[in-house]
Structures are given as structure tokens and as C-alpha cells.
Amino acid sequence: MTSIISPAFSGGSEADDDRPRTPSAGTRLREATQASRSNRHAGAINPIAVRPAPRKEGAADRAARKVLQTLLARLDGGRLTVIEADGTVTSYGAVTGPTGIDVTVHLHTPAVWKEVALKASRGLGESYIDGWWTTDDLVGLVQLLIRNLDGFDDIRNRWNRTTAPVADVVRRLRPASKSRDKREIAAHYDLGNDFFELFLDPTMAYSCGLFDGIETSLEDAQKAKFDRLLRSIDLQPSDHLVEIGTGWGGLAVHAAQQFGARVTTCTISEEQHRHATELVARLGLTDQVTVLLKDYRDLTGTYDKLVSVEMIEAVDWRDQQTFFKTCNQLLVPEGRMALQAITVADSRFDRVRNSEDFIKAFVFPGSCIPSVDAITRVSAKAGDFWLTQLDEFPQHYAETLHRWRDALFASEDEARARGYGDALLRLWDFYLAYCEGAYRERYVSLVQCVLARAGYVPTDLEVRP
């Protein structure tokens, strides 16, 4: 997801800033990655230290406040009330109409102003993880900030169009790396199965569910997602389905149990592979479902159908053509592929693919959210795929994230008992709220699409011989 705060600021002397010189969050998280070799709860997204809140206000903090207050003076779509550490209260914007948002933020140190001005969404999230500020409505705050991004996005998009012709030549020199991809996947998904079990439903699906209404349970919403994807490619008992991105095995066993298909599924997450393998064995499906600890690029053979659920976001933009080319080659000439993907607006893709926001820095290292245009353009170049179906479900993802966040914090005592600390819980609080707000405002979206190889001919209408 792209940054939700964009103004940059530089200025002020480090000499008048007395805050402790603790390592940055990026440094701390890199240290956590190294520590994970001996501590299974120390993945790259598990902060192992927090910075103490600086008490003294420096010149840089004052300058940053002045810059950001100028921007906040034009706030639209709601009201933001900021309560400073010294008790000063300032309100920006106004609540007008039924969609207006009213949010209060408590700053526990003036250093938050500089963090946000210098590092945008990374600074906002990092300072939240460190406990430097709190709010009565984290999702609402994200929504309110997104509502005021249009001007900033236009400026950043124009700058990217100016610099990209030169910068992309250099960026494309970065070689593909399976070992790097495995490390980046492990950073998130190998945090610990016992952590994800705290907030995922019994299917262990870590992707958007599809709801009939607010009364739909999360488990039923996830099964509805499975059903819709598999029906969209007309999965039959005689089919051999290949899944790229196993997750914790929910879709694979659903395809076997409910559709009678044979399934081969692959993942490069050791934790997910272990869980999925145990699940398949426990359900007595070992003759029907094969779980591989293997990079999708190493798959061989041909399959009747293919499905991939929110895995493409882990594929760097430079590797997307390889992804679709591999998918194309794995399918029989008349094969079809169902893809569920998080997307950004086409107008922002060329910029956000190279920028680092809170999500890339703290949650999904190496991730790249595609746009619909990027998916269709790259898939067409990679083989003989035709796009035959496309549907969008952003509000369903907002609801899914809301359910996950509620479930996680209903289980926070158990999380601590399992060795997951307050800093990690604050990181996940910010991450889930950040994403929910973005989906509610459709700043990012969720699509399901079907890509068919050229040999596929629809048969839903019988035509004359």
C-alpha cells in the first residue's frame, strides 16, 4: 500500500535535539531477522526494542510542526484534534455531513511531528509502534489522511513520470533472487503459526473473504471466497489444480473436499508448509493433495487449472512477467487461471512500485502491489492469456481486516503468553487499521480475475454445428 502521508521536511540542527541515539526501526528489525535464527518469535516484523519518547522539543520538531500544521489547515472530510504532550489542543477541519470523520490524536512527545514530516507513513507507523502517540480511532485517522492526498499524489506522480525513464533503467538491473524472496516471505509468514492462529478463522485463510452481509461469519466468508474462485475456472473432479501460494492450506483442502479435484500447491514459507502438510495428513487427503516447499519458478508439469490468492503482491515488479509466463506454461492449452490480487490505481502504480511506505518497511518487505493495468499488460506479454473476467471487492477486505483486528486484540493476553510483546501488537494494530482505512476509502482495492489460455473456448451456450 502506498504512503498515506507524503510531505517531506528537512531542517534543524541535530545539536539542539537531545533525544537518545537509538537505532532506527529498520536497523532494529534487521537485527530481529538475524535473531530469528535462535528465537522463533523474532521475525523481521517483530520489533525487539522500542525507542524511548524524547521529552525535550528540538528546533527540528518545531519546524516540522509548522510545516505540517500549514497542510492540516486545509484538512477536508472531517476534523482532526491534536492534543500535544504539554496539553495544548488544536483542531483542524470540520465535521460536515454524515460521512465526516472526527478523530482525536494524543501526542506523548513532540518528536512525532518530525517523524511524520521526515518519514511519512513509515514515521507515523514507527512512532505508533514505539508508543509515542495514541488515538481514539486509528482507522478513521487513516481514512481522513487519505481523503486529503489528492494534491500530493498528483505531485508525486508527475515527479515519477519525470525521473522514471532514467531511474527505471538502473532499477531493472537488479537480478531476480530466489533466496532473497524466501527471506522476505519468511520475514512475515514465518513469524509463528501460533500467532496467526490468534486472529484467523478455522480455515486459516489470510486473504480477503467475501461476505453476504454483516451477519456472515469470517469462516463462511472465506469459504465463499474459495468457492467463487474455483467456480470461476469451472474446477471439476477430473482436474489437476495447481496453487501458487499455499497459505496455510485452506483453499487446497477445500478444492479437494468440495470439488473432488487433485491439487498440487507450493509455498516457500517453512511454517506454512509444515502447517499445511499436517492439515492434509490429518484430513486423510495425502493421496489427493500434494504440498511442496518449492518456489513457483521450479514447478514442472502441466495442470488443468491454476489458482493464486494474494501471492502476486510478493512478486517484485521486475519479476511479474516471469510469474505470468510460468503460470502460462504450467497450464494445458485450454487451461484457466483464477487470480485474487490487491491492487492500486493504474495512475499510481509506476510510482508506488519503487517507493517504500510503512507496509514495505515493516510488514511485507519486498512487496509490490500491482494495478489492473499492470496485471493485464504483463500477463498478455507473458504468453497467450486472455482476461475473461474481472470483479472488485474493496469493502469486503475492509470488513475482513476489521474482523482480524477485533479477534487479535480479543486475544492479546494469549498473544503475550505465547511470547509476542506489546511492540509487535502495536505494529499489527497499526498495520491492520492502516489497511482497513485504505480499503474503506478505496485507496487500494481487491480484485478477482480469470485469465484463460488461447485454447479455451466457452461452452456455456450451445452453438449450432
Residue ranges and CATH numbers for the domains of the chain are 14-153 (3.30.1050), 178-452 (3.40.50.150)
> In this structure, what C-alpha cell is assigned to residue 13?
540542527
> In this structure, what C-alpha cell is assigned to residue 124?
507515523
Average pLDDT over residues 66-79: 94
Which residues, 6 or more positions from 237, have their beta carbon under 8 angstroms from its beta carbon?
A: 259, 260, 261
pLDDT digits (tens, 9 = 90+) for 427-459: 999 999 999 999 999 999 999 999 999 999 988
**DSSP per position, 209-237:** ---SSTTS-HHHHHHHHHHHHHHHTT--T
pLDDT digits (tens, 9 = 90+) for 102-118: 999 999 999 999 999 99
Average pLDDT over residues 34-55: 59
Please tell me the distance from the alpha carbon of residue 448 to that of residue 392, in angstroms, as a whole number: 6
- pLDDT at 83 exceeding the cut of 50: yes
Contact between residue 75 and residue 100 where contact means Cβ atoms under 8 Å apart:
no
Establish whether 435 is a catalytic residue.
yes
Strands 331-344 and 303-309, bridge-based pairing: parallel
* Candidates 266, 327, 368, 435; catalytic one: 435
Residue, of 360 and 128, whose pLDDT is higher: 128
Average pLDDT over residues 192-220: 97
> In this structure, what C-alpha cell is assigned to residue 110?
513532540
Contact between residue 398 and residue 440 where contact means Cβ atoms under 8 Å apart:
yes
Q: What is the pLDDT of residue 294?
A: 97
Using the 8-state DSSP alphabet, how is residue 360 labeled? I
Please tell me the distance from the alpha carbon of residue 216 to that of residue 219, in angstroms, as a whole number: 8
> In this structure, what C-alpha cell is assigned to residue 101?
470523520
Contact between residue 362 and residue 45 where contact means Cβ atoms under 8 Å apart:
yes
Please tell me the distance from the alpha carbon of residue 168 to that of residue 164, in angstroms, as a whole number: 5
Average pLDDT over residues 210-227: 98
Please tell me the distance from the alpha carbon of residue 412 to that of residue 406, in angstroms, as a whole number: 10
- pLDDT at 22 exceeding the cut of 60: no
Pick from 301, 397, 389, 378: nearest CA to 338:
389
**Residue where the block lists cell 535464527:** 37
Q: What is the CA radius of gyration of the chain?
A: 23
Using the 8-state DSSP alphabet, how is residue 419 labeled? T
* Positive or negative torsion for Cα 292, 297, 298, 303: positive
Q: What is the mean pLDDT of the chain?
A: 86
Residue, of 150 and 348, whose pLDDT is higher: 348
> In this structure, what C-alpha cell is assigned to residue 104?
482525536
Average pLDDT over residues 197-220: 97
pLDDT digits (tens, 9 = 90+) for 318-337: 899 999 999 999 999 999 99
Least confident of 187-201, 334-348, 409-423: 187-201
Please tell me the distance from the alpha carbon of residue 396 to that of residue 342, in angstroms, as a whole number: 12
Contact between residue 218 and residue 201 where contact means Cβ atoms under 8 Å apart:
yes
- 100: alpha, beta or left, given left = phi > 0 and alpha = psi -120 to 50? beta
Can you name the residues that pair with 290 across neighbouring β-strands? Answer: 264
**DSSP per position, 151-209:** HHHHHHHHHHHHHHHHHHHHHTTSPP-HHHHHHHHHHHHTS-HHHHTTTS-TT---S--
Average pLDDT over residues 357-366: 86
- pLDDT at 1 exceeding the cut of 60: no
Q: Counting beta carbons within 10 angstroms of the beta carbon of residue 125, is it exposed (0 to 12), middle (13 to 18) or buried (19 or more)?
A: buried
